[in-house]
């Protein structure tokens, strides 16, 4: 309740940023990584609830039905990344007129306009998760590979089987980092703890 009272007294711009964060978080959590691929446990000789990592994805064995949510996982994570990046840019007073309207969904274009401090912090985080093969060129290639995922994968049925392969592990890590970064940014700059906002 205390958080709600704090929210009501914030300026409209701050409320908008918090609402952006809440929106991004809801899309980020719409399909969890362990819910992306669910295979029948008994039929596959597995103990119910077993989770295996395979090709950058988590496969959960439970119940007796096969459930695949790869497309919504990828589309929702990509859209969440877009909203988080826009939130960070708004906090930094970025002029969106510098980006063509057709590029506003492109993660790489948004990322290129983020501060160098953000990029350095993310690179350090990236090194921890990717180890020896990680370098700045590799990182930028990963971002380039997911840059247009939201635009392409939301109409996946129009791709006629030509959809690009997406490193959903990287997409997930990028989204998680943006979530934590945005959460801290709002707390530090506006003294509002979005982790206590139940929306």
Q: What is the pLDDT of residue 7?
A: 85
Enumerate the β-bridge partners of residue 54. Answer: 57
Helix (H, G, I), strand (E, B) or coil at 171: helix
Tens of pLDDT, residue by residue over 173-185, are 999 999 999 999 9
Residues of the chain with pLDDT under 70: 1-4, 55-56, 132, 161-164
Parallel, antiparallel or unpaired: strands 50-54 and 67-68: unpaired
Q: Can you give the pLDDT at residue 164?
A: 67
The full DSSP string for 103-160 is GTT-HHHHHHTS-HHHHHHHHHHHHHHHGGG--HHHHHHHHHHHTTHHHHHTTGGGGT
Asked if 17 and 190 touch (Cβ cutoff 8 Å), the reply is: yes
Q: Do the Cβ atoms of 147 and 164 come closer than 8 Å?
A: no
Predicted TM-score (pTM) of this structure: 0.89
């Amino acid at each position: 309740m205390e958080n709600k009272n704090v929210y009501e007294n914030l300026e409209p711009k701050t409320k908008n940023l918090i609402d952006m964060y809440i929106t991004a978080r809801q899309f980020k959590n719409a399909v969890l990584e362990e819910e992306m691929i669910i295979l029948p446990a008994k039929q596959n000789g597995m103990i119910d609830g077993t989770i295996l990592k395979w090709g950058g994805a988590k496969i959960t064995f439970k119940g007796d039905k096969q459930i695949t949510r790869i497309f919504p996982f990828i589309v929702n994570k990509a859209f969440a990344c877009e909203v988080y990046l826009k939130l960070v840019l708004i906090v930094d007073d970025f002029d969106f007129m510098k980006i063509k309207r057709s590029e506003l969904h492109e993660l790489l274009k948004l990322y290129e306009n983020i501060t160098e401090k953000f990029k350095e912090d993310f690179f350090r985080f990236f090194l921890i998760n990717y180890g020896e093969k990680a370098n700045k060129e590799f990182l930028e290639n990963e971002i380039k590979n997911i840059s247009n995922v939201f635009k392409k994968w939301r109409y996946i049925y129009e791709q006629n089987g030509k959809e690009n392969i997406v490193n959903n592990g990287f997409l997930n890590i990028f989204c998680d980092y943006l979530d934590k970064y945005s959460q801290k940014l709002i707390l530090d700059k506006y003294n509002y703890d979005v982790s206590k906002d139940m929306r």
